[in-house]
A and B are shown apart, each in its own frame.
Chain A
Amino acid sequence: MSPAAHTAPQEASMPLTAGSTAAGFAWAITRDLTLALRHPGETLLVVAFFVLVASLFPLGVGADPQLLTRIGPGVIWVCALLAAFLSLPALFATDYADGTLEQMALSPHPMVSWVGGKVAAHWLVSGLPLTVLSPLLGLQYGLQADTLGTLALALALGTPVLSLLGAACTALALGARGGGMLLAILALPLFVPVLIFGAGAAEAQAAGLSASPHLSLLAAGLIVAAMALPFAVCTALRIALD
C-alpha cells in the first residue's frame, strides 16, 4: 500500500477548530471505511481466510456428519477469532508507521472518539462479514436452523469484544520487536472467555438446552468492554506516541 493511497481525502476536511466526540467518531469511521472500500481485495482477504480455514477442518478430521455437527460451532468460532486477530495490524500499525496516528492524536477531537470510530470500522470490516457468513458455513457443518441463528447472534455479540480487546493489544505492541507472534501471545489468551461463551451458546442450543445464559454473559462482556477498553486503547496509544 503506497503512502499516497493510504491518505484518504477526508483528512483535508477535518475541522481544525472545535473538537467534539461525535465528529471525531464520524470522521474516523468514514476515513477507515473509505480506505477499506478503496482496497476491497484486502478486506475480502479476511472473509476468504475465514471461509477457507473453516472448509479445511472437514477435510482434516473426516466428513462424518455427526462429528461435524458436534464440532461445527467451535470450529467456526476459532476461525472467526483468527480472522479478527489477523486483521488487527491494519488497525493502528500502518497509521503509526507513516505518522498519521501522531497527527490524529494532535487533532482537537477527544482521542477516545476517533479510537472508537476506528474500532467500529474494524468490526464493520472484519467482524460483521464473518457474522453474516457464519450461517452459510454452519450449513457446511450440517447445523440445525435454530443453532445457525444462535451462532450468528453469538458472533454478533462476541466479535465486537474481539475488535476492542485486539485494539488494546495491537496498540500496546506498536513498535515492538517480534510483531505478529508477540501480538498472538498478548491477544489470544484474552480472547479465550469470548470463545468459551460464544461456542458454548451454539453448543447449548444444539444440545437442546437454553443458549440465553451464554448470550447474556456475552452481552454483559460486550457492555463492559465497550465502556472500559476504548480508554485502555487511548492509554496504550499515548504510551506508544510518547
Chain B
Amino acid sequence: MNWFFFSSPPTFYRLAGWMAPMFFISAAVLTAAGLYTGFVVAPTDAQQGEVYRIIFIHVPAAWMSMFLYFVMACYGAASLTFNTRLSAMMARAIAPTGALFTVLALWSGAFWGRPTWGTYWAWDARMTSELVLLFLYVGFIALANAFEDPRRGDRASALLAIIGLVNLPIIYFSVKWWNTLHQGSSVSFKGTSMHTAMLWGMLLMALACWAYAIGAALVRVRSIILVREARARWVREIAA
C-alpha cells in the first residue's frame, strides 16, 4: 500500500472535491438535529435558566479551536519531516477555520458571561489563554504569507505552530490549575454532570462543527492547490 498516494496534489484535489459536499451536508443535518435537541428537547437549567443554551455553540467552538490547532501543528510537523507539500497546504487551510472557532468561543463566552457573571470579559486564566491562542492563529497566518517563496512560509509557519503547541495544555488545564472565574468542565471521559438531552445536544453540535471544519478546510485546500500548482498541466487543463 502506498501511504503517500493521496499526498499528491492532483489526486487529493479530486478526493477533496468529492468529500467536501458530503461533509457540508452532514454538517447541516447534524446542526439541525443538534439545535432541535438543544432548544426543544433539552430542559431549562435549574441554576442558569434559559441562558445556559449558549453552551451548544460555546463548548463545541472551544473544543474545535484547540483541536484544530493541534491538527494544524500535526500537519506542520508532517510537512517538516516528510517534506510533503500537501501537508503544509492543509495546515494553511485549517488555520482560518481554527481562528474562526476561537473568535466564536470568545464571543459566545462574552455573551454568556454577561448575564451569569455580570461581565463580558474577565482576565481569567482560561479566557486569557484562549485569547493567546487567537494571537497564535493570527501569527501563523501572517508568517505563512510573509515570504515571497511560499515553501519558505510553509516551513517557517509549521515550526511556529509546533512551538505554540505549549499553549494547548495551558488552556485545557487552566480551570484546574487556577481556580478563577471560568467554571470547570461538565463533561469528562469518566462521566458527566449534565442531563442526557443537554449532553446529546452538545455532542451533536460538536459533530456538526467537526463536519463543517473539515468541509471548509477541504474547500480552502482546493483553492490553495490550484494557486500553488498553477503551472502544472492538469491545472491548466481544468482552467481551459
Majority secondary structure, A binding face: helix
- Cβ B139 vs Cβ A239 within 8 A: no
List, sorted by A's number, 16 A–B pairs whose CB atoms are closer than 8 Å. A172-B156, A172-B159, A173-B146, A173-B156, A176-B156, A177-B148, A178-B146, A182-B142, A185-B139, A186-B142, A188-B135, A189-B136, A189-B164, A190-B163, A196-B128, A232-B163
Partner of B143, one of A182, A190, A192, A193: A182
Q: For chain A, give the interface size range.
A: 20 to 34
- Cβ A192 vs Cβ B132 within 8 A: yes
Q: Mark B146-162, 1 if CB is under 8 A from A, else 0.
A: 11100010011001101
Is B170 positioned at the interface, with any CB of A under 8 Å from its CB?
Answer: yes
- Cβ A239 vs Cβ B152 within 8 A: yes
Which residue on chain B has the smallest CB distance to residue A177?
A: B146
- Cβ A178 vs Cβ B142 within 8 A: yes
- Cβ A232 vs Cβ B159 within 8 A: yes
Is A236 positioned at the interface, with any CB of B under 8 Å from its CB?
Answer: yes
- Cβ A177 vs Cβ B136 within 8 A: no
Q: Residues of A contacting B138 with CB < 8 Å? A: 185
Residue of A168, A186, A242 contacting most chain B CB atoms (<10 Å):
A186
**In whole angstroms, how far apart are the Cα atoms of A173 and B140 in the complex?**
11
Q: How far is the CB of B183 from chain A (nearest CB, A)?
A: 21
Is A15 positioned at the interface, with any CB of B under 8 Å from its CB?
Answer: no
Q: For chain B, give the interface size range.
A: 20 to 34
- Cβ A189 vs Cβ B146 within 8 A: no
Is A235 positioned at the interface, with any CB of B under 8 Å from its CB?
Answer: yes
Partner of B147, one of A169, A177, A185: A177
Q: How far is the CB of B72 from chain A (nearest CB, A)?
A: 16
**In whole angstroms, how far apart are the Cα atoms of A177 and B153 in the complex?**
11
- Cβ B147 vs Cβ A186 within 8 A: no
**In whole angstroms, how far apart are the Cα atoms of A196 and B178 in the complex?**
12
**In whole angstroms, how far apart are the Cα atoms of A190 and B132 in the complex?**
8
Q: Residues of B contacting A236 with CB < 8 Å? A: 156, 159
Which residue on chain B has the smallest CB distance to residue A181?
A: B142
Q: Of residues 142 to 176 in A, which have CB atoms within 8 Å of B's CB atoms?
A: 168-169, 172-173, 175-176
**In whole angstroms, how far apart are the Cα atoms of A9 and B87 in the complex?**
45
Q: A189-B135, A192-B132 are in contact. Are A176 and B159 (CB under 8 A)?
A: no
- Cβ A239 vs Cβ B143 within 8 A: no
Q: A178-B146, A193-B170 are in contact. Are A185 and B135 (CB under 8 A)?
A: yes
- Cβ B156 vs Cβ A168 within 8 A: no
Q: A185-B142, A190-B164, A236-B156 are in contact. Are A175 and B136 (CB under 8 A)?
A: no
Q: How far is the CB of A27 from chain B (nearest CB, A)?
A: 26
Q: Residues of A contacting B142 with CB < 8 Å? A: 178, 182, 185-186
Q: A185-B135, A185-B138, A239-B152 are in contact. Are A176 and B147 (CB under 8 A)?
A: yes
Q: Of residues 196 to 242 in A, which have CB atoms within 8 Å of B's CB atoms?
A: 196, 232, 235-236, 239-240, 242
Q: Residues of A contacting B146 with CB < 8 Å? A: 173, 176-178, 182
**In whole angstroms, how far apart are the Cα atoms of A236 and B157 in the complex?**
10
Q: Residues of A contacting B136 with CB < 8 Å? A: 189
- Cβ B160 vs Cβ A186 within 8 A: yes
**In whole angstroms, how far apart are the Cα atoms of A173 and B143 in the complex?**
7
**In whole angstroms, how far apart are the Cα atoms of A50 and B128 in the complex?**
26
Q: Residues of B contacting A239 with CB < 8 Å? A: 152, 155-156, 159
Residue of B128, B139, B155 contacting most chain A CB atoms (<10 Å):
B139
Q: Residues of A contacting B160 with CB < 8 Å? A: 169, 172, 186
Q: Residues of A contacting B164 with CB < 8 Å? A: 189-190
Q: How far is the CB of A146 from chain B (nearest CB, A)?
A: 24
**In whole angstroms, how far apart are the Cα atoms of A137 and B3 in the complex?**
60
Q: Of residues 1 to 52 in B, which have CB atoms within 8 Å of A's CB atoms?
A: none
Q: How far is the CB of A88 from chain B (nearest CB, A)?
A: 15
Q: Of residues 205 to 224 in B, which have CB atoms within 8 Å of A's CB atoms?
A: none
- Cβ A189 vs Cβ B159 within 8 A: no
**In whole angstroms, how far apart are the Cα atoms of A189 and B41 in the complex?**
41
Which residue on chain B has the smallest CB distance to residue A225?
A: B166
- Cβ B143 vs Cβ A186 within 8 A: yes
**In whole angstroms, how far apart are the Cα atoms of A175 and B139 in the complex?**
16
